[in-house]
Amino acid sequence: MSAGKEQLEVEDDLVESDDDAVETPVEVAKTNLSKRRTIDNLLEERRLQKQLADYDFDL
């Protein structure tokens, strides 16, 4: 460990250009949300059908 203060060199090479920035339209987010809701509904339906199949109706 040194007792003196050392000067650190910092390189500012991280310049973001407009070409690197990818903007996704809002429509894609809505489509993805719609797909996710559809998948959730199908999974819920499958879960409920399994519960019905496992239910003992001879109570």
The answer to the question of residue 41 being in a domain is yes
Whether pLDDT at 11 is above 80: no
Structural domain total, the chain? 1
**Other C-beta atoms within 10 Å of 58: how many?**
4
pTM value is: 0.48
Question: Which amino acid, 15?
Answer: V
Site of tokens 């509904």:
41
Residue at 34 is within a domain: yes
Mean pLDDT to the nearest integer, 12-24: 60
Q: What are phi and psi of 22, to 5 degrees?
A: -115, 115
Could you list the residue range(s) of the whole structural domain that residue 43 is in? 28-58
What is the pLDDT averaged over residues 36-45? 97
Query: What does the pLDDT read at residue 16?
Result: 58
Q: Please report whether residue 22 resides in a domain.
A: no
Q: What mean pLDDT is predicted for residues 36-42?
A: 97
Is residue 47 in a domain? yes
pLDDT of 3 above 80: no
Is 5 among the domain residues? no
